[in-house]
Structure 1
């Protein structure tokens, strides 16, 4: 099937956004691999390391709505390039760290700022603005899928270098990979040259920032989607941060954790493509609720038994399919309800809730482990909240269906 002309003309922009998203997400998702080595070598506790990851997620969430609100004024390119610089600086500081403060500033604050400027929200905003409404959900899924490839490469590569040399060499390789964020962000920034989308009736496109936020605050499906996104963040960051430590506790080969994160990254591609396609045909928010319920069931199944290489790979494949599929669904739902102008900001508001959950997932998992010596209570809490969030998300979505898709 020939490529649609409107897609072909913006293909460099979409590729740039995909590469940028792939690197920022893939490198960050692989940082949990370094926790055992760094905590041993630098004499920091698991709780301290997970506090740095929690600060990363919290700063990402705090900066995200602010960066999104600045996008209509300054454009995507300057903000995404600044984010790339912050990301590289954070990884470099972590690579050279000699104590906890450098870990907190590098892996925490700087990478969090980099993610806010050059990751999901702005990449999805670039993709949504580049294509017409008829193919928007599918394109969002494709960009999200391409953005999943980073973990597929970064996790096994990082683990292999760490085993061959040490964790500093592995992080040095990550720094070199992160440098590619800068040209990718520059190319994706060409979206600023496209004509601005027309203001659409009954949307936030013709409103100021305050009125757009008020409109979102009074929209029940948006509020529920944001609160359910909190649970999403808690579950996923708990896994990326603590799965390597959990497998090491169970006596598994260290390469198994890297394999699992790589499988998650690979299956992210299929999941993002599927849910991007499905979001163009069925209710995006109902699909979100289904993802949260399915994830919780998979987590419960895996942690109720002793992990083996086979069950770990199956678990990673199932979770990977359900992982980044939320990206195109949340982004598409925001556009459906509020338009394109403030998409990055309003998606940032929902993502702030996601990152509060991420903060608690990373730090809470570390606290539970330090208190009890296992992750049982953390898993029970996460599974219960996931089931509740999924059911409520579906109920509200069915009671408040979205309006008709916006025209191109």
Structure 2
């Protein structure tokens, strides 16, 4: 950490190029992904796919995304993010095309589930943030993470209403083809994050990957970070996948669901930036505990207040402010505690826990609805998990790990 009162080093031109290119890549990849919940009703009716099956396909997508992420992250740590982003974008677009031509749940599972799930490991947060984290000064790192994370929200704000407009004007198949074309734009943007970024820290971060993994796995704070991020994944997948259908079930128009997802994205632009900026100045674990607790409060109030279009939009704005603020704070803690050399790999493992939570959030919500005709039990679980995640983050030790006979951490 920098000395008190010392001026923060300015970001280099190369750092700004990487931050902005990474933000646009995440804008496209996450913006398209956050529109998937809009397809539940029209796609389900066309292919006769029930909510449990659709939820399981999206859950499998999240799980594959998470399982592959540590390996893709380790490869990016060694070779850079550019080539990985190109491959990820190509497979992502292919997955959307396969889903667009699906005739049944199997084709949907191959496209939406397997291909998209595998592809996203290469062109979303962990790989991009790993590259950015190695090139920006420590004092600006969490803020830079927040800017890139905000890109995912800006994409959600732009893409979700556009996808709903296309669904209303044409059909879900053509809409998926259009989204595939948008994802293909990531290929030229990958030039902005191409090349192996410098590895700061010298000997401090020079340990082999095996030693870094053993060190992290033996450190209790690593597992507390995993526990909190698991809850984040559960919340995001449940709300992102099932909120539009929940709103329609209550007799509100489909447009309200699309506006809600877009509003989540809009307010998360501000939220990601602010949580990232605050994380550069204050305790990251304290901010994470506060964020998770506020999520629980937001859901509780949403359930108590009579449901209407205004109440949905207020909830969406509130939850949006809390949506992905966890990403710069969690990745910032991984970098702060464990160093930079294996940032993408270690953050990828933490992200795997996020995706396990996402798997359960997307799938179990469908199971609960098909069994009871209601999402109430999942909403209540979301409240409890929010407060549990808040408690889990409080014991985290934020100090860099002390490594014998090594240069002190920055």
TM-score tier, shorter chain, comes to over 0.9
Q: Which residue of 2 aligns with 1:173?
A: 178
The Cα shift of 1:4 comes to: 7.0
- Residue 110 (structure 2) pairs with residue 110 (structure 1): no
Q: What residue number does 1:197 align with?
A: 200
Separation in 2, partners of 1:50, 1:119: 21
Q: Which residue of 2 aligns with 1:316?
A: 316
Aligned to 1:117, the other structure's residue is in SS state coil
Indicate the SS of the match to 1:265: helix
> In structure 2, what is the Cα distance between the partners aligned to 1:257 and 1:168?
20
Could you tell me which residue of structure 1 aligns to residue 192 of structure 2? Answer: 187
Q: Choose the corresponding residue for 2:47, options 30, 42, 45.
A: 42
Q: Structure 1 stretch 246-255 or stretch 107-116: which is displaced more?
A: 107-116
Q: CA deviation at 1:72?
A: 3.1
Aligned-residue offset at 1:146: 2.4
2:91 aligns with one of 75, 86, 90: 86
Aligned pairs for 1:26-105 (under 5 A) are 26-105=31-110
Question: Take 1:255 and 1:216, find their aligned partners in 2: how far apart are those partners?
Answer: 45
Question: What SS does structure 2 have at the residue aligned with 1:348?
Answer: helix
Ranges in structure 1 where 5+ consecutive residues have no aligned partner:
none
Secondary structure at the aligned position of 1:16 is classed as: helix
Deviation at 1:138, TM superposition (A): 1.2
Cα distance, 1:200 vs. partner?
4.7
Query: Residue 145 of structure 1 corresponds to which residue in structure 2?
Result: 150
**How far 1:351 sits from its partner (Å)?**
0.7
TM-score under structure 1 length normalisation: 0.94
Partner of 2:399: 402
Question: Displacement, 1:197?
Answer: 2.0
Aligned length: 397
Paired with 2:194 and 2:280, the residues of 1 have a C-alpha distance of 26
The residue number in structure 2 matching 1:330 is 330
The runs of at least 4 aligned residues of structure 1 exceeding 4 Å deviation read none
* Deviations 1:132-180 (CA, angstroms, capped at 9, x unpaired): 1121111111111123211001110011111111111222221121111
- Within a 5 Å distance, the mapping from 1:382-397 to structure 2 comes to 382-394=382-394, 396-397=395-396
8 Å CA contact 1:291–1:322 kept in 2: the answer is yes
Task: Give TM-score scaled by structure 2 length.
Answer: 0.93
Matched, 1:236 2:236: yes
Do the aligned residues in 1 keep the contact of 2:77 with 2:343 (CA within 8 Å)?
no
User: Is residue 16–residue 188 contact of structure 1 (8 Å, CA) maintained in 2?
Assistant: yes
* Pairwise CA distance, 1:11: 2.2
Partner secondary structure for residue 178 of structure 2: helix
| Shift of residue 186, structure 1, vs aligned partner | 2.7
The alignment's C-alpha RMSD in Å is 1.7
**CA contact under 8 A between 1:200 and 1:339: conserved in structure 2?**
no
Kindly state the Cα deviation for residue 71 of structure 1 after the two structures are TM-superposed: 2.0
Deviations 1:254-295 (A, max 9, x none): 011110110111111111111111111111112111111100
Deviation at 1:406, TM superposition (A): 4.9
